[in-house]
Amino acid sequence: MKKKINNKTSLIAYLIANGISVPHYCYHNDLSIAGNCRVCLVELKNSMKPVVSCATNARVALQNSSVYHDSALVKKARENILEFLLLNHPLDCPICDQGGDCDLQDQSLFFGFTKRRFYKFKRIVSDKELGPIVKTVMTRCIHCTRCVRFAAEIAGTEELGVFGRGSASEIGTYIDKVLTTELSGNIIDLCPVGSFTSKKFSRQKLK
């Protein structure tokens, strides 16, 4: 591996910079680390269980251990995490504007899920009115919080937040407020699933 690392480089950044594909939903190079989607798991030789590579320091990990990014344990662990993420995510790819450009869809195809467990019901989350740019389908949200961190850390407007806990968690605005800034459109690209898509270019609108 050639890429140089500094004291702050995360393991996932190091692996990606060296051409190794690591699935990730909550991690983004320009945002703070949340470590909540858990899909970026890798195996460390000295660790009893897989660790999330986005919240692991590359220098410490590489100095103290060997890193396995495609071992059988890693594959199984990621597969299980994906199954959890799909518990409530609707399988509506054919009508989703994000279909074909969706990280969750890509990983689902990669892991090739054909069997379902725990699928007695899926929760429903009401959509939010976020203004003229962003169309929302909140039932698809996997709570990666990229949008929340973007609003707070990049756009400088703490308008989005996570409300509720556990299976009642949902993303919303603190007060009934629409996002009017042009910058808000960036959450469309940031969202790894189809929760936020472009209102203007919605397929249903173009029909």
Binding site for ligand SF4 (CB under 6 A): 141-147, 171, 190-193, 195-196
Size of site (CB under 6 A) for ligand FES: 12
Cβ-contact 66, 51 below 8 angstroms:
no
SS3 category, 136:
strand
Q: Which residue type is seen at 62? A: L
Cβ-contact 158, 151 below 8 angstroms:
yes
Binding-site string for ligand FES from residue 12 to residue 31, where x marks contact by CB under 6 A and - marks none = ------------xxxx----
Q: Largest Cα–Cα distance in the chain?
A: 57
- The answer for residues whose C-beta is within 8 angstroms of residue 116's C-beta and 6 or more apart is none
Contacting residue, 20, 35, 79, 161, with ligand FES by CB under 6 A: 35
Residue 130 CA to residue 180 CA, distance in Å, equals: 8
Find the shortest distance in angstroms from Cβ 132 to ligand FES.
30
Query: Which among ligand FES, ligand SF4, none contacts residue 145 (Cβ within 5 to 8 A by kind)?
Result: ligand SF4
Q: Which residue type is seen at 64? A: N
Nearer to ligand SF4, 13 or 142 (CB): 142
Cβ-contact 188, 151 below 8 angstroms:
no
Query: Which among ligand SF4, ligand FES, none contacts residue 142 (Cβ within 5 to 8 A by kind)?
Result: ligand SF4
Query: Which among ligand FES, ligand SF4, none contacts residue 190 (Cβ within 5 to 8 A by kind)?
Result: ligand SF4
Binding-site string for ligand FES from residue 37 to residue 76, where x marks contact by CB under 6 A and - marks none = xxxx-----------x-x----------------------
Residue 34 CA to residue 186 CA, distance in Å, equals: 19
Query: Which among ligand SF4, ligand FES, none contacts residue 155 (Cβ within 5 to 8 A by kind)?
Result: none
Find the shortest distance in angstroms from Cβ 175 to ligand FES.
29
Residue 109 CA to residue 75 CA, distance in Å, equals: 14
| Residue ranges that bind ligand FES, judged by CB under 6 A | 24-27, 35-40, 52, 54
